[in-house]
Amino acid sequence: MKAQNKIMVITGGGNGIGRELVLNLLSKGAHVAAVDISEAGLKETAELAGGKQDRLSTHIVNITDRSAVEALPEQIIAKYGVVDGLINVAGIIQPFVRINDLDYAAIERVMSVNFYGTLYMIKTFLPHLLKRPEAHIANVSSMGGFLPVPGQSIYGASKAAVKLMTEALHSELSNTNVRVTVIFPGAIGTNIANNSGVGNTLNVPGDSQRQSFKMLAPDKAAAIIVDAIEKDKYSVFVGQDSKFMDFIYRLHPKRAAGFIARQMAALLSD
């Protein structure tokens, strides 16, 4: 589905990959409804859109609030008339601790945002997408959704749930006009740790020196994702680390899991 003249809804549009997707799609001639819990983030996205603001609307919504999500289509359709695509980007990570040390409030928050928020958006917008001649749903999972990452076990579980839900949705919609893509980003240079309320714990001393792959810039990640959507791809691995670890994990799951465990050891040291 080509982006030009399409009406696209993007969650997480106030920062990181979501913001860059908004800007990328606007540059391709799409109309975009950017959804985020952060009013300040959405305002900055709108400012960055510059002269393309006439094709952008911003919506301050907590996607874990089902009633708020269910009110969105009326707002967006009132402005644009229809909805052609949905990209679920909004997500948070957990504190970098083992399951044994992770409190239930953090567990529920991660699952609510990453899984239920994505589910609410899909359930709410799918009936409208099915009415379009062509439409698309793209959901952001994670490299952590297919590969176990110690210290991010619940985050990984939430993203694995997104992965399987998206793949099943692809099968369920195979005879419809709606195409579905699952997205697996690796390490992307965003503020997800701070935005998740867990602090900048990604940059622990010595950790960056051990990384085999550089973080991918968010705008480059967005370009890869938009290209995958326009080509109706089943899945897309964003970043060389994601592609490489997918290959290794398929080849030797235990060895791949051990490699990641060693990389994360500094974050979990007592």
Which residues carry out catalysis?
155
**Scanning the structure block, which residue is given the tokens 């465990």?**
261
Beta bridge partners of 56: 32
Number of alpha carbons in the 13 Å side-chain half-sphere of residue 16: 26
Helix axes 153-172, 117-129, angle to 10 degrees: 20
Report residue 181 as tokens: 């893509």
Rounded Cα–Cα distance for residues 256 and 130 (Å): 39
Other C-beta atoms within 10 Å of 65: how many?
Answer: 14
Ordered DSSP codes for 96-125 = S--GGG--HHHHHHHHIIIIIHHHHHHHHH
Alpha helices in 30-138 (DSSP H): 39-49, 66-70, 72-80, 104-111, 117-129
* Residues belonging to the chain: 270
